Amino acid sequence: MSTAQFDPARYKAEQRQSWNAASQHERDRMPEIRLTVNGRQERLTVKNSTLLVNALRDQLGLTGAREACGVGICGACTVIVNRRTVSSCLSLAVLADGAEVLTVEGLSDGDRLHPLQQAFLEAGAFQCGYCTPGFLMSGVALLATAEDPSEEEVRHFLVGNLCRCTSYQEILSAVMKMKEQASPDWLQPRGGLSARPPA
C-alpha cells in the first residue's frame, strides 16, 4: 500500500496561502457599527482596518480631529471615547462600536463656544490652530475628571499633545484658568456646531 509522501515545504506554502487569503478577507470585511457621536446616533459601514480618525473625518465630516503623526505621538487626533481620551489615529473604528464619542465639534453649542474654547481664545492659546482640537479634548477630559489638578498635573496630562507653534504657556494658562468652572458635564456634548451637515 502506498501513501502520498508528506512534503513539508508544500504544506507550509499551502498554510501560508490560506492564512494570507483569510487575513485579506478579514481586512476587507465591511462590518456595520453603531456609535453615538456628539450625541447623535450614527451607523457606519467601515472596513476592519478603518481608523477612527478616518471614519470621523471621511464619513461624518468631523474634521476637527487631525491625523498628523499617525503614530500616537502628537495628540492632534485626540477624541474622547467613553469618557477617556484616545488617539483616534491608533484606534480602529470597529472597536468604537457601541461607544459614545465626543469630538471637538461637540464642545460648542451652536455658535456659543465651550468655556475652555473661550479661555483658549482669550489667552491666545494657538497660532496656526492645528493642534488646538487635540489640546481642547485633552483639557476637557482632564478638567472634567480631575479634582483641582495642580499645574504640574496639567503639564503631565498634556504631555501627549504637541504644539509646533509653541503656544504651551498660553495653553497651560487657559486650562488652569478654567479648572474652577469645570464639571463632569463637560464630557457631554453641548449641541455641536451649527455648521455640522445633517445626517
Contact positions vs ligand FES (CB under 6 A): 67-70, 72-77, 87, 89, 126-131, 163-165, 167
State the Rg of the chain over Cα: 22
Taking the complex as a whole, the smallest distance from the CB of residue 166 to ligand FES amounts, in Å, to 8
Taking the complex as a whole, the smallest distance from the CB of residue 78 to ligand FES amounts, in Å, to 7
d(CA 150, CA 25): 50
Among 117, 85, 110, 131, smallest CA distance to 181 is for 117
CB nearer ligand FES, residue 38 or residue 87: 87
CB nearer ligand FES, residue 104 or residue 190: 104
165-179 burial, b at 16+ Cβ within 10 Å, e below that, comes to eebeebbbbbbbebb
d(CA 128, CA 148): 30
Taking the complex as a whole, the smallest distance from the CB of residue 57 to ligand FES amounts, in Å, to 12
Among 101, 135, 113, 87, smallest CA distance to 143 is for 135
CB nearer ligand FES, residue 123 or residue 190: 123
CB nearer ligand FES, residue 170 or residue 190: 170
Taking the complex as a whole, the smallest distance from the CB of residue 169 to ligand FES amounts, in Å, to 12
